[in-house]
Chain A
């Protein structure tokens, strides 16, 4: 009977499913107690567990045929890369900031390309010969939730055994996973908010543009360059006037109506960054690896040498736009990624901060805004703490209390 039930429910797929890859070794129905009172409502795997599922749904994960309403993204295990010479020290990239493997940009890209679907990250935990702290699983869950997606929770053997044996570390990590899921599910208004960004990235994000455009998103995240993703296929409908700058990342310049729309954006006062200069135009200056051309009230920038290195491109674009247009500044956030969203009328904002260090913040994190918010609440898996703004030279700052893994800061104008 229970097998039949499971098969029936396999076909019922909803985008509000919160998935977990059910361990095949867990064939004891009492294990479902772990899920009681949690947002987890969907088991995934190759075949349903031979247990009565009750209200739980089962979904078979097949990348070639994703469940209805879901887009599957493989992603990477989120973590700070540690230096080979010193396992206690973070590896740093060319930015000097710690190198972080992250999925935020992947989620946002998948959402932009599939606006009506829920994104599931399907990556597995590291292999068993690597030591993975149970707290790292809470980070994996938190990262996906912060960006409005779900990681298909997958417990590796050590964590699973810890839960079987009831070790304090495993139980605490599970408690934290559940708390982060509940936090993600609470007050979901922000999911309708828009990114607060000076830059729109327009690209097909595929074919010849795939590497440069996608790596640009990754590196822009790490350097705190806020952006909105505009797939080329929907660029004609996009409200570009909301941005200070637009970059078109393709090997060739745009053509037809899209070209006209982008040139209109520049003529109206924006900065348009193209892979090639406009025909018959004369550059007025060269800045940050780009020649600048006047176009109406705005500017067009084109590279002196063809774009090749996404690191240099992200740095140059940030300088071409200028930090003056940073909608938010983060201090002591070297091992963190942030996403700043605002309501359509701008009266409310939310900032998601994912802390990849797996430690509570030792150096206090501060958020700065070149505008006014009256108050903010810092929500973490453990607490909700009101914070008041401090006036500074270029706006206001919110000093944040210590937090680990994830914080959602809700701002009120």
Chain B
């Protein structure tokens, strides 16, 4: 019956197979609601970020309802190592979330009545506290810890302060993983915030609020030296299994849905990012592009790339409740079409993280359905691909 129907529409078996592989594994969710993203010009870091972010939070509906009396968990982006710089530029002006942005956001969460605020990030090696890595980078962690009452930090690359890992499932079953075992901080929070850097990404197209969640997976379970049956005690090595699928997570955690799915980075990484963002929904996204770098997610991507890395100053700040919409505006600011699919910049060699997240029902990437408040996108377009 199905075959007959296909023939009536002039489908050959070959066409059908081609179309089937292009379809998402998971049925599309119903249309996402209209959403609002605040966009602002911001030429430098400093104390002026406090009023700027305050205004932007107001533009998307204010923080009080969202955070008052709640535990707020903030995933920041401290990828790589503090000792690695792009030339003489510090990590925070090229590939890390800048501490002034984190501090300003924390200040407003405190003002809006957050009960507790946790700054979260993980590292591929060891159990060092976040504060230590910040000191190595030349930051003063006390500036962040004192930006509001009851601020804490936790390295979520291992069990940390928790007694067990917490399982967060992907509501519709997931593209690659049905769920993830994560540090307690990702479940023991009422509000989850992703503060990301505006960057390109070699295997996910762009780095934004969504891709930032790659780092919530503990390397004790998803790293190169993850335990075979149980999580390792200490992380040793990055999440190569996410990239290449060369092995499975510790058996104690959910295993892949389909062991025969492609082992290709450009297929896996965007899907895993979408799975993570579905398992641990983001309530507030902040993408800062005051200063950043082109070509990839960190200085280490230089090797073998046809494009050089450039330190650049797009001078933008983007805030939204919908992470897909926030990243879509970020992509547009970077000079990309958020509706682009694989084969089109910035997704030349990978599937669109935005499209996959959209199909998970996490938001919309369609600029026509996004109300951009503050500066219009056209005023702040900073084409990353002009830098070759």
Contacts and interface: CB of A to CB of B under 8 A. Distances in A.
A333 B140 contact: no
Contacts of B128: 315, 319
Contacts of B115: none
A366 B129 contact: no
A95 B136 contact: no
B140 A96 contact: no
B132 A315 contact: no
B140 A322 contact: no
A333 B136 CA distance: 13
Nearest to B234: A312
Contacts of B299: 363
A329 interface: yes
A333 B128 CA distance: 20
A332 interface: yes
B246 interface: no
Nearest to B136: A323
A295 to B, nearest CB: 23
Given A322-B135, A329-B136, A399 B236 contact: no
Given A96-B125, A363-B299, A334 B138 contact: no
Contacts of A394: 135, 138-140
B84 A334 contact: yes
B306 interface: no
B129 A393 contact: no
A364 B81 contact: no
Contact of A393 (B81, B87, B125, B139): B139
Question: Interface on chain B toward A: helix, strand, loop, or mixed SS?
Answer: loop
Interface residues of B, number: 23
B310 interface: no
A288 B234 CA distance: 11
Interface in A356-413: 363-364, 366, 368, 392-395, 397, 399
Contact of A332 (B84, B124, B132, B136): B84
A399 B135 CA distance: 18
B123 to A, nearest CB: 9
Contacts of B85: 331-332, 363-364, 366
B129 A319 contact: yes
A333 B84 CA distance: 8
B126 interface: yes
B87 A363 contact: yes
Q: Please indicate which of the listed interface residues A322, A332, A395 has the most CB atoms of chain B within 10 Å of its own CB.
A: A332
Q: Please indicate which of the listed interface residues A94, A96, A368 has the most CB atoms of chain B within 10 Å of its own CB.
A: A96
Given A96-B125, A330-B83, 19 more contacts: A94-B236, A288-B127, A319-B128, A322-B132, A323-B132, A326-B135, A329-B83, A329-B136, A331-B85, A332-B84, A332-B85, A334-B83, A334-B84, A363-B86, A363-B87, A364-B85, A392-B90, A393-B138, A395-B138
26 contacts: A94-B236, A96-B81, A96-B125, A96-B237, A224-B83, A315-B126, A319-B128, A323-B135, A326-B136, A329-B138, A330-B83, A331-B85, A332-B85, A333-B83, A334-B83, A334-B84, A363-B86, A364-B88, A366-B88, A368-B138, A392-B90, A392-B138, A393-B140, A394-B135, A394-B138, A394-B139
Interface of B: 81, 83-88, 90, 124-129, 132, 135-136, 138-140, 236-237, 299
Which 3 pairs of residues, A with B, have the shortest CB-CB distance?
Answer: A323-B135, A399-B88, A364-B87
Interface of A: 94-96, 224, 288, 315, 319, 322-324, 326, 329-334, 363-364, 366, 368, 392-395, 397, 399
